[in-house]
Chain A
Amino acid sequence: MQNWPLLTLVTFLPLVGVVAMLILRGATEDIARNARWIALWTSLVDLFIALAIWFLFDPTTADFQFVEQAAWLPQFNISYQMGIDGISLFFVVLSAFLTPICVVASWGSVKNRVREYMIAFLVLETLMIGMFCALDFVLFYMFFEGVLIPMFLIIGIWGGPRRVYAAFKFFLYTLLGSVLMLLAILAIYFQTGSTDMVEALNFDFPAHLQTWLWLAFFASFAVKVPMWPVHTWLPDAHVEAPTAGSVILAGVLLKMGGYGFLRFSLPMFPEASAMFTPLVYTLSIVAIIYTSLVALVQQDMKKLIAYSSVAHMGIVTLGVFTLTSEGIQGAMFQMLSHGVVSAALFLCVGVVYDRLHTREIARYGGLAQNMPKYAFVFMVFMLASVGLPGTAGFVGEFLTLMGAFQANTWVAFFASTGLILGAAYMLYLYRRVVFGVITRDDVRAMLDLNWREVVVFVPMLAVVMWMGIYPNTFLKPMQPTISNLIESVQSSRETGHALAGHFRDHRTVRSVAFDAAVSGRQP
């Protein structure tokens, strides 16, 4: 089955659903109902294919798998090239996992332009999965930028009162970064003579060029992650986006930045990465502490979770640049767990928003009395977000900080304060929403989760627990790729140019200390 074009299939299958929806005719009601079902089945089949890919994936190799290649614009050396490795595999699965959840979550809450809404989500799925599979810069860039369009529409059409402001802010912010990336891609093209990413990965870029290319990519990815101080689009976008839009935004779109760092910045520009590591550390730590404090004082549920996302993604960027196997695996895991947990938290907000149509924390309180099921579900995801061992949130945070400690104790120290602040703002949120006494009649009248909401949450609960108790399922397949990445980065730093390697210095200090103390023991 390795010869089947599985990646093309998983990428473009949602478009088949889109075509089917476009030819729907009849009363608005019928179209809406059929569109929902078509979207659900298409995304479920796509999830099945993604799981099949995971199942067939060979976890022992660092090479790209399921590679497909076809000539596209041969005169420019641009080809259609797809393939995944241990880094991209789980993002494909994550995107395919969240889309059906979005479809079900929007089942009753989206009432106008249902067909167009579902089309937007299926197109979005194609673009997201395509972006993680693309092995050609042009293809990648098309998907990367294309993602903006359906998301822009989802926020701008189905969003809240300030949706137009938020949509434009989101669009322009990310576009500005991406334009610089486009320039960088052109520069790479003129250097290597091809847009093949695999070729660029093995290409040795001169040091001065690395600096500029790194910065250009950084501009794009830092906005996507988002890193402090270019994060302010995220709270606005989340607040205005419909629930499912927030789910995809937090679940997948933020990961594009982290994925970019791992796919491009580190392996292609190792020396520039070393040079800018202190910058990334600083911005990450500021993000963790700054946004955690801001989250503490929010009065809007979605804004609070949006700010907490920035803090959690700060851990990711930190982990990526520690260049230790714990740090990078932790960062990858953190992205996956954040993808599920923050998505689930936005769904939790959606549940109460659908009933009371407000996100203001102070309007709620005492939900544990009339919504015990909801209280339980929210509790589990809240604790996962806090990083409770045994849930998904712990493994990523723990491994990342462990990697950070090996790289730099200051970084680990400040980043670990996120443990305390994270607990503070999440518990405070939970207390104000779920605990306490019900004072308002409309709150008292709220009903507990209906079966459709239960159907949405149960798989997410299962995944969060699974990731917490047996994370090896996810860690194993990414290991060869990541250790290969670390090795290649380190070797190119050592054999390469005379730039003082940040990591190398650190490692030498460590090993000298050890040799002095522990004779003959290999750490």
Chain B
Amino acid sequence: MPVAAVFLPLLGSIIAGFFGRFIGDRGSQLVTCFAMVASAILAVILFVDVALHGQSRVVDLFTWMDTGDLQVQWALRFDTLSAVMVCVVTIVSTMVHIYSVGYMSHDHSIPRFMSYLSIFTFFMLMLVTADNFVQMFFGWEGVGVASYLLIGFWFDRPTANAAAIKAFVVNRVGDFGFALGIFAVFYLFGSLQFDTVFGAAPEISKATLNFLGHDYPALTVTCLLLFVGAMGKSAQLGLHTWLPDAMEGPTPVSALIHAATMVTAGVFMLARLSPMFEYAPGALATVVVVGGTTAVFAGSVGMAQNDIKRVIAYSTCSQLGYMFFAAGVSAYSAAMFHLMTHAFFKALLFLCAGSVIHAMSGEQDMRKMGGIAHLVPATYILMWIGSLALVGIWPFAGYFSKDMILEAAYAANSGVGYYAYWLGIFTAFLTAFYSGRLIFMTFHGKPRASHEVMHHAHESPGVMLWPLVLLAIGAVCAGFLGFHYFVGDGREHFWHEAILVLPANDTIERAEELPFWVGKLPLAVGILGLGLSWVAYIWKPSLPVATAARFRTLYLFLLNKWYFDEIYDFLIVRPLFALGVGLWKKGDGALIDGLGPDGLAATTRRISVGASRLQTGYLYHYAFAMLIGVVVLVSWYLLFPIGG
């Protein structure tokens, strides 16, 4: 059963990909959707079995690599952590598959699209069920490729191609760290099997590792290297630049990959490796700082974006920041809880945005929308549900998970913890503001679209709406249903051994004894943010324009996303290309070839030309040369007589 749950999407993908031409568009949609539905049902059964009944298991498939010292298996590990992820991935993926049937109905290459979606799901499942670092890396890179393919799905658009390459290469920067981390793990532990590594982590935590000429605490440097991988995949500050550009892909892709599943792989990694990170306090503190900073950075940029998908993309980036600093204060279960609720409401938001874009004939700029609430009422309501869940209004899902994270950060009672808490509160305000802004600009006010577009605006078909309704149910209920198990009293029974938290770091336990205001502040700033956005975009629409004009520098700074792309382009991309040209023309061309083969050949030719010039063919030249020779020889012997 576990094997079927993981490999059914692969099967669907292969059938749709290779035989799409024979079974047609409808056939490949049916095959992939059925495979996904079956996989999701199996996943739920497994979840009940594994998480609620405590039947963790590892299914060994076959040996992957065996070099003598290093043994790596293909295996499927099902404990609570992976069961949760498998559930989230298969359910969201199923919804996205079904939604795509409607959304992509006008596209030319439907089988290819469905095949890509399914292969992505397969890689994601391999990632979360990995039993060792290498298989995790397999899934990790696999989802990267699937993401690359899907971002560049419309390969005739130059921007989509550029975004696809950027996504892959930036992720590779993260994977560079991840790979080094894996090497360090093998170096330290002599194994890449999770159980072996986790068992030995307390001992190894006392060792040091010489990395790049300095001795560091072994686990801290290892965890930091692994964390670089997590930063890449989860678009944390510095390696986040690919995520907004990834919105070039079709919207269902953004919902599945760049909101609900793949980008959360970094959070999953932290939770999975909690038995290592717990012994690396330095790494955990770094995670908190990076997470908190990302949250506020992305939230601030989200305020100024005009593309509806980019707003949600930055929102994703920002919410991932929450999950990271939750993991950083050892509240892994809170991070996973937020991951789960976020998967529902963010997939919902993206798919709603897709529905809006579908209705507006492909328009994504919010400045050209407005006043369509009555035209797409179902989408409008669903969008509100998603936004309220994101803002964290009771009783929607985000309220429970975001509160827990912020409380845990406060309860950490450390400098970085307070840093994360206050940035998190500020981000909660930003989140509420841009969520309100998005809804008010899109649905309210006067229509700013052309007459023709407004005329065509229509509600999406049922095949697109029903998945949204199901996700909306998740966005409403996942919070209060899951609270007890994920972070409430039932959490120890729920997680079993899947997550390790040292007693000294148990911030969730301590979060129960916090002052009243700590837990209620996020809700307050959320309501405040929504209110302010209402003031700015409904009550006094002139206010944002005036503010932007007043603080023009700040506005441009946010609009241009803190100028990250420009700086990277200037500091890294251009110099590398220039260096490449220099090495090619100057290094290979002038220096190596010039001094090496070509130079030698030229010298040889010059010498032989000189030598051949001596051979003039005139007798008197030769006679004269002989005469000189005789004179020299005779003088030599006269000056230095033999034996004398």
Query: Which residues of A pack against B, CB within 8 Å?
Result: 169, 172-173, 229-230, 232-233, 235, 290, 293-298, 325-326, 329-330, 366, 368-369, 383, 388-390, 394-395, 398-399, 401-402, 404-406, 409-410, 412-413, 416-417, 419-420, 423-424, 427-428, 431, 434-437, 469-472, 475-476, 479, 483, 509, 513-514, 516-518, 521, 523
* Pairs A–B under 8 Å by Cβ, sample size 23: A229-B592, A325-B67, A326-B70, A330-B67, A389-B141, A399-B67, A404-B183, A405-B183, A405-B186, A413-B180, A413-B212, A423-B168, A427-B168, A431-B152, A437-B156, A472-B65, A513-B210, A517-B203, A517-B208, A518-B203, A518-B206, A521-B203, A523-B190
Interface residues of B in 180-203 (CB under 8 A from A): 180, 182-184, 186-188, 190, 200, 203
Encoded as 1 (CB less than 8 Å from any A CB) or 0, chain B from 587 to 602 comes to 1100011001100000
Complex CA gap A298/B580 in Å reads: 9
Complex CA gap A1/B184 in Å reads: 46
Encoded as 1 (CB less than 8 Å from any A CB) or 0, chain B from 147 to 190 comes to 01000100110100100110011001101100110111011101
Chain B proximity of A52: nearest CB distance (Å): 25
Complex CA gap A276/B65 in Å reads: 30
**Are the CB atoms of A388 and B142 closer together than 8 Å?**
yes
**Are the CB atoms of A435 and B184 closer together than 8 Å?**
no
Q: Report A-chain residues with C-beta under 8 Å of the C-beta of B452.
A: none
**Are the CB atoms of A294 and B183 closer together than 8 Å?**
no
Q: Report B-chain residues with C-beta under 8 Å of the C-beta of A518.
A: 200, 203-204, 206-207
Complex CA gap A330/B70 in Å reads: 12
Number of A-B residue pairs, CB cutoff 8 Å, is 166
Complex CA gap A298/B577 in Å reads: 10
B-side interface residues, number (CB < 8 Å): 64
| A-B interface, 9 closest residue pairs, ranked by CB to CB distance from nearest | A517-B207, A405-B183, A389-B138, A293-B580, A297-B580, A435-B155, A294-B584, A423-B172, A296-B580
Q: Report B-chain residues with C-beta under 8 Å of the C-beta of A406.
A: 183, 186-187
Q: Report B-chain residues with C-beta under 8 Å of the C-beta of A471.
A: 64-65
Chain A proximity of B171: nearest CB distance (Å): 9
Q: Report B-chain residues with C-beta under 8 Å of the C-beta of A435.
A: 152, 155-156, 161
Nearest A residue to B210 by beta-carbon distance? A409
Out of B63, B66, B176, name the residue touching A416 (CB < 8 Å): B176
Out of A326, A417, A428, name the residue touching B67 (CB < 8 Å): A326
**Are the CB atoms of B169 and A405 closer together than 8 Å?**
no
**Are the CB atoms of B161 and A436 closer together than 8 Å?**
yes
Asked whether any CB of chain A lies closer than 8 Å to the CB of B1, the reply is: no
**Are the CB atoms of B156 and A475 closer together than 8 Å?**
no
With known contacts A232-B588, A389-B141, A419–B175 Cβ distance under 8 A? yes
Encoded as 1 (CB less than 8 Å from any A CB) or 0, chain B from 55 to 87 comes to 000000011111111100010000000000000
**Are the CB atoms of B141 and A472 closer together than 8 Å?**
no
Chain B proximity of A2: nearest CB distance (Å): 26
Chain B residues touching A, majority SS: helix
Chain A proximity of B531: nearest CB distance (Å): 46
Nearest A residue to B156 by beta-carbon distance? A437
Chain B proximity of A356: nearest CB distance (Å): 19
Asked whether any CB of chain A lies closer than 8 Å to the CB of B581, the reply is: yes
Complex CA gap A347/B637 in Å reads: 70
Asked whether any CB of chain A lies closer than 8 Å to the CB of B626, the reply is: no
With most chain B CB atoms within 10 A of its CB, the pick from A232, A298, A437 is A232
**Are the CB atoms of A420 and B577 closer together than 8 Å?**
no
Q: Report A-chain residues with C-beta under 8 Å of the C-beta of B184.
A: 405
Chain A proximity of B64: nearest CB distance (Å): 7
**Are the CB atoms of B183 and A412 closer together than 8 Å?**
yes
**Are the CB atoms of A169 and B597 closer together than 8 Å?**
yes
Known: A325-B69, A405-B184, A470-B64. 13 other contacts (CB 8 A): A169-B597, A232-B596, A293-B583, A294-B587, A326-B70, A326-B186, A402-B70, A409-B210, A413-B180, A472-B65, A475-B65, A513-B209, A517-B208
Q: Report A-chain residues with C-beta under 8 Å of the C-beta of B175.
A: 419
Nearest A residue to B108 by beta-carbon distance? A369
Out of B65, B66, B164, B584, name the residue touching A297 (CB < 8 Å): B584
Nearest A residue to B174 by beta-carbon distance? A420
Q: Report B-chain residues with C-beta under 8 Å of the C-beta of A405.
A: 180, 183-184, 186-187
With known contacts A366-B156, A513-B208, A388–B145 Cβ distance under 8 A? yes
**Are the CB atoms of B134 and A398 closer together than 8 Å?**
yes
With most chain A CB atoms within 10 A of its CB, the pick from B173, B180, B183, B184 is B183
Chain A proximity of B119: nearest CB distance (Å): 11
Nearest A residue to B17 by beta-carbon distance? A376
Complex CA gap A369/B184 in Å reads: 44
**Are the CB atoms of A173 and B180 closer together than 8 Å?**
no
Out of A294, A329, A417, A431, name the residue touching B176 (CB < 8 Å): A417
**Are the CB atoms of B68 and A297 closer together than 8 Å?**
no
With known contacts A388-B142, A517-B204, A294–B580 Cβ distance under 8 A? yes
Asked whether any CB of chain A lies closer than 8 Å to the CB of B211, the reply is: yes
With most chain B CB atoms within 10 A of its CB, the pick from A420, A434, A437 is A420
**Are the CB atoms of A401 and B179 closer together than 8 Å?**
yes
Encoded as 1 (CB less than 8 Å from any A CB) or 0, chain B from 205 to 219 comes to 011111111000010
Q: Report A-chain residues with C-beta under 8 Å of the C-beta of B210.
A: 409, 509, 513
Asked whether any CB of chain A lies closer than 8 Å to the CB of B579, the reply is: yes
Asked whether any CB of chain A lies closer than 8 Å to the CB of B41, the reply is: no
**Are the CB atoms of B593 and A232 closer together than 8 Å?**
yes
Out of A293, A401, A509, A523, name the residue touching B183 (CB < 8 Å): A401
Q: Report B-chain residues with C-beta under 8 Å of the C-beta of A390.
A: 138, 142
Complex CA gap A517/B187 in Å reads: 14
Chain A proximity of B503: nearest CB distance (Å): 23
Nearest A residue to B214 by beta-carbon distance? A409
With known contacts A233-B597, A401-B183, A475–B67 Cβ distance under 8 A? yes
Q: Report A-chain residues with C-beta under 8 Å of the C-beta of B187.
A: 405-406
Asked whether any CB of chain A lies closer than 8 Å to the CB of B137, the reply is: yes
Q: Report A-chain residues with C-beta under 8 Å of the C-beta of B155.
A: 366, 368, 434-436
Q: Report A-chain residues with C-beta under 8 Å of the C-beta of B158.
A: 436
Q: Report B-chain residues with C-beta under 8 Å of the C-beta of A413.
A: 180, 212
Q: Report A-chain residues with C-beta under 8 Å of the C-beta of B213.
A: 410
Asked whether any CB of chain A lies closer than 8 Å to the CB of B627, the reply is: no
Out of A233, A297, A436, name the residue touching B577 (CB < 8 Å): A297
Asked whether any CB of chain A lies closer than 8 Å to the CB of B576, the reply is: yes
Chain A proximity of B132: nearest CB distance (Å): 12
Chain A proximity of B644: nearest CB distance (Å): 40
**Are the CB atoms of B169 and A427 closer together than 8 Å?**
yes
Chain A proximity of B160: nearest CB distance (Å): 8
**Are the CB atoms of A420 and B186 closer together than 8 Å?**
no
Complex CA gap A233/B592 in Å reads: 10
Q: Report A-chain residues with C-beta under 8 Å of the C-beta of B68.
A: 325, 479, 483
